[in-house]
Structure 1
């Protein structure tokens, strides 16, 4: 295959993103642009390569072109250097040289952006989820529970859903687990096997450790509405949503699973649209290997189904990682667009991974093993889907320079952008309303409040806080209602309808991941 034949494979007629120019026989050919059709970006993709090879700048390049085409983008900013997408780039000799090499008319430009932070830890609008909506499958992944413990956690969530015990934050979940493991609550699940004291103990201990790591900040209200990620600016450009993650880098299981919650929530809410001219959203999943490490079979099956089906809802997902082997084969098979930066082969394991990577590409005119170890920073091997859905020829590519700032903006500018956002007032202040913890505490009395650390067990009960017994019309005292009666006939259902923020209380439904949403 010749250079002209490769270039012909990228000569699309419809809207497309410009990635760079073809590399052939050591020369960069600016008249042979390498592009990806806008309409196939919901067919998912992979951006891979060793550390320092330019993956982050590739994300930035794709994100800003999507924004310019009116497509919203979500970026997980693990290293804290993607905030520059909101500011114009700075001209310099390297940018000028790269632009000339690839035939790019470079001009500095910033793009509309919103900045988020998990639980408000970091510089961004706080992103929170309730424990109820996060669901048992994703939470089991974060807590690293085994299969039996995951099933028990699912049973606990089912009980809480059925009884109207809303799990808003982690103390709510601890309260329900403790109740179901107690003598009083054990009978509630006797028909389905119950939760063993040993399993309940493991779940409670892992929750305690989880909270000690600062995870309590991520669960609560107001819960983030993922519909915010689908917005466009007044000028028609797509908003780039940047989730700042440097503050939680030491909790990789948490942030990777939280990203999966965002994706699962979108999957649950978005309508089917089939194949569209442009995606509704393109979602970049950085450090993707963290999502798959130690994942249960049930989790991987649910993830694979979500990736397969969310395409028809107009959402494209790009996994960003170091090597294709980091992504399970069933998921990798669905990633039609590939940008593979350089790989290193310093060890036998590296060489094995290199050979495995080469086998994932279509036949090409290159010696890919040699090429992938010799690529420079900002160069990649590319193959995408054409407008008919067929793979394009493999093309060694020198990538374009982003038009926005290639680095973070300063903290003062970032904080100013966050506070100026129309979303700041909606999500900034955490709210702790009546939920499972308060309901169970009220039903059992403060001395037996589940999960209350400041009260010794066996202490005297405060009778003034016990639910009072009812009296009939003749003045005779009626028996005190059972816990189940109190919950079902209590204000929990009314408080569901008063959910703070964007979530309005309705019927709870659970999706592939066990995530719960109220019907909109």
Structure 2
């Protein structure tokens, strides 16, 4: 078998491994940059090298001017901000795979969800996040999700901006106390409202109020390129929220959907505008409704035309729904374990998802060493390449967390810290409803006559959820027509909502 030789720029992965277990430096395994917006999968058991594979791919993409976004679950990927350290192990791996290794650091930006942890805060307004994603985070059933959508609809139609958690809670309590407000558009049972309020209260107690509010993050800030031409690597630090997996996985989906909404149509490009690594991907799909899974599949399918490549990172391909898995052009499968009957079943399922191969994949996938993977990608013509046993290159950045001093220095020097660092709490649903309640409780008149109303800035029209915008966008409608897909406006609205507002 030959290495993957392509004419255009490519992402260098490593060297082909011969049947005797030795690497062939002359036979390099690559992914064409022009094919990276066909998406991909990085999978493997814990401890097999997935994190180092992400690190290698991120630094190589950045070196070729491609911005990268990835989530850092344990703080391990902060080493991208520091040059690597030479060692006998690194030197041996570089020699084996024909790599010219030298220490290097990458331009890095550190983010955190709402400022919980180290990094520039990423926030979203409650309206932009939308009822579909919020219901996924809260674990609501279909009836409760439908009621939540009605609440968002009411707030939209009555000019009540939902910016943070207290805004949403205020609207729900108002509708509970004033059920006639929903006359003509539906009803909200007290029991369902109570369930939603309790889940929101618990959500708030976990510190989630920090994630919602303003200034809302502009995802176009993920597409920056440094002055030296390197793509910026945006790292979302997640150690502070590891105990809230549904929250951060759904928040990543919001970022991806917002990218689709904000970025212009570019079609096929020589290299992607951004590569988005979706770590712990199984958390996004666990317990997801059929409508939610459909929205993910649509987003992944259509975001390719925006020049964005998405790599899902998880343990086995079966963690990713078939509709999504079918759209992934690159596969990097690290070792799998088969210690239990369930493991053996998962192994067989994984092997069945690969193209025909000369390898005994069921055996090989249990024998791969750390830093080795079975790889298949799309060639420049769009055809799948043969499956290749690959020994991966060694990252040139630090294969350990950067020091706290380095991380804090990067954060302090970031221009985005000035843009997003301080939270803003402008007038929204909570304040509007509080004023209304206060006015109702005052006497109709006083000896001095009615009190004058203080001037107030008009409430801005709530911005539509970014997931809701995906299927309503012009790009989607154009693609849907060309594919003869007769998705009506009612279907679009039933999944993604109605109102629209430009980004501030």
TM-score normalised by length of structure 1: 0.88
Match of 2:484 in 1: none
Q: Residue 193 in 1 paired to residue 193 in 2?
A: no
Equivalent residue number for residue 322 of structure 1: 315
Pairwise CA RMSD? 2.2
1:136 to 124, 131, 146: 131
Distance in structure 2 (CA, Å) of the matches to 1:88 and 1:43: 30
- Is 2:155 the partner of 1:172? no
- Residue 245 of structure 2 is matched in structure 1 by 252
* CA drift at 1:407: 1.3
Other-structure match for 1:117: 112
State how far apart, in whole Å, the 1-side matches of 2:406 and 2:9 are.
33
Structure-to-structure mapping, 1:255-404, within 5 angstroms: 255-404=248-397
Query: For the Cα contact (< 8 Å) 1:136–1:157, is it kept in 2?
Result: yes
Consecutive unaligned residues of structure 1, counting only runs of 5 or more, are 449-460, 498-504
* Unaligned runs of at least 5 residues, structure 2: 471-494
Whichever of the two has the greater Rg, that structure is: 1
Per the alignment, do residues 424 and 443 of structure 1 end up closer, same or farther by CA in structure 2, a change over 3 Å counting? same
State whether residues 107 and 230 of structure 2, in contact with CA within 8 Å, keep that contact through their aligned partners in structure 1. Answer: yes
* Aligned 8 A contact 1:508 1:519 in 2: no
On the 8 A contact 2:128/2:463 being kept in 1, the answer is no
Partner of 2:482: none
Relative to structure 1, is the Cα distance of residues 490 and 137 closer, same or farther in structure 2, using a 3 angstrom cutoff? farther
Secondary structure of the equivalent of 2:76? coil
Identify which of 436, 439, 444 aligns with 2:432: 439
Q: Secondary structure at the match of 1:20?
A: strand
Distance in 2 (CA, whole Å) between partners of 1:181 and 1:138 is 23
2:208 is the counterpart of 1:215: yes
Measured in 2, the distance between the counterparts of 1:490 and 1:275 equals 51
> How many residues get paired?
475
CA distance in 2, matches of 1:178, 1:116: 34
How do residues 18-167 of structure 1 correspond to structure 2 at under 5 angstroms? 18-25=12-19, 26-167=21-162
Give how far 1:59 is off.
0.6
Residues in 1 aligned to 2:395 and 2:373: alpha-carbon distance in whole angstroms = 15
CA change 1:132–1:226 in 2 (3 A) is same
Q: CA deviation at 1:508?
A: 8.0
Distance across 1 between alignment mates of 2:326 and 2:36: 15
Partner of 1:228: 221
Q: Given that residues 34 and 397 in structure 1 are in contact (C-alpha distance below 8 angstroms), is that contact kept between their aligned partners in structure 2?
A: yes
Name the SS for the 2:70 alignment partner: strand
Superposed displacement of residue 194, structure 1: 1.5
Residue pair 2:376, 2:388 contacting (<8 A) in 1 also: yes
Corresponding position of 1:452: none
SS at match of 1:423: helix
What displacement does 1:490 show? Answer: 8.2
Q: Distance in 2 between matches of 1:490 and 1:288?
A: 48
Relative distance call for 1:322 and 1:32 in structure 2 (3 A) is: same
CA positional deviation for 1:495: 4.7
Preserved CA contact (<8 Å) 1:161 1:508: no
Cα distance change on mapping 1:98 and 1:469 into 2, 3 Å:
farther
* Counterpart residue number, 2:233: 240
User: What's the CA shift string for 1:323-365, capped at 9, x where partnerless?
Assistant: 0000011110011100000000000000000000001000011
- Give the SS at the match of 1:416: helix
Report the secondary structure of 2:56's partner residue: helix
Q: TM-score normalised to the size of structure 2?
A: 0.90
Secondary structure, aligned partner of 1:235: coil
Which residue of structure 1 aligns with residue 501 of structure 2? 518
Q: d(CA) in 2 for partners of 1:519 and 1:325?
A: 38
